Chain A
């Protein structure tokens, strides 16, 4: 089955600086890669996702890059703000009809230092 590794487990950055979180996956058939943000005691919320036919996707201060050859994808947050502090999870799945299981990484606790 799929295995997703996520690094680093904790990350502290100064407010206004950029943060990068990296994930690798094992199954070359995986073609859908979402990123979730989870605040303390709350539900995970989708912040951005990318499909394997695209190498990069941006949404305001957030971007995701995908390298299919190396089987890794990364989350980039620019101009970080205190409200970016949370745990971030990457995930991977193979989206064939009837098989959309997500495999999650172990999470990165991001702390923005004011």
Chain B
């Protein structure tokens, strides 16, 4: 999991502002994922991408957007439409099929609202 990086570690958002969280991996993984973790809760899937230039909504996609222009990168934008964005955001990546489905997580970005 050392091959997945997220930045920044902390991010502050003002009301009405869009912010973008970075996720980069050098594991040559095809699939990448974004999760949201609220205090005392599990991980909920926001978006995922199994191949470049393609992505699907997860369980809580409203108020978020993503892009997958490069295999190594899967940035997440938290838009002003997301009314309760304060959370710990985790990016993950994995291979596909054939025993490669283990997801490895980045160190996370903690988003706080000013």
Taking Cβ atoms with an 8 Å cutoff, the residues of A that contact B are 1, 6, 32, 34, 36, 42-46, 49, 89, 93, 95-98, 100-107
Contact = CB atoms under 8 A, between A and B. Distances in A.
B interface SS class: loop
Interface in B74-114: 90, 94, 96-97, 101-108
A100 B50 contact: yes
B64 interface: no
Contacts of A45: 1, 105
Contacts of B59: 1
Interface stretch (B13-21, B39-47, B65-73): B39-47
Contacts of A43: 1, 90, 105-108
Given A32-B101, A97-B96, 15 more contacts: A1-B59, A43-B90, A43-B107, A43-B108, A46-B102, A95-B97, A95-B101, A96-B97, A97-B97, A100-B31, A101-B48, A102-B45, A103-B45, A104-B42, A107-B40
A34 B97 contact: no
Interface residues of B, number: 25
Contacts of B41: 106-107
Contacts of A32: 101
Contacts of B103: 34, 46, 102
B82 to A, nearest CB: 20
B8 interface: no
B98 to A, nearest CB: 8
Given A96-B97, A100-B31, A100-B50, A105 B104 contact: no
21 contacts: A6-B42, A34-B103, A42-B108, A43-B90, A43-B106, A44-B90, A44-B105, A89-B42, A89-B43, A95-B97, A98-B50, A98-B96, A100-B31, A100-B96, A100-B101, A103-B45, A104-B42, A104-B44, A106-B41, A106-B42, A107-B42
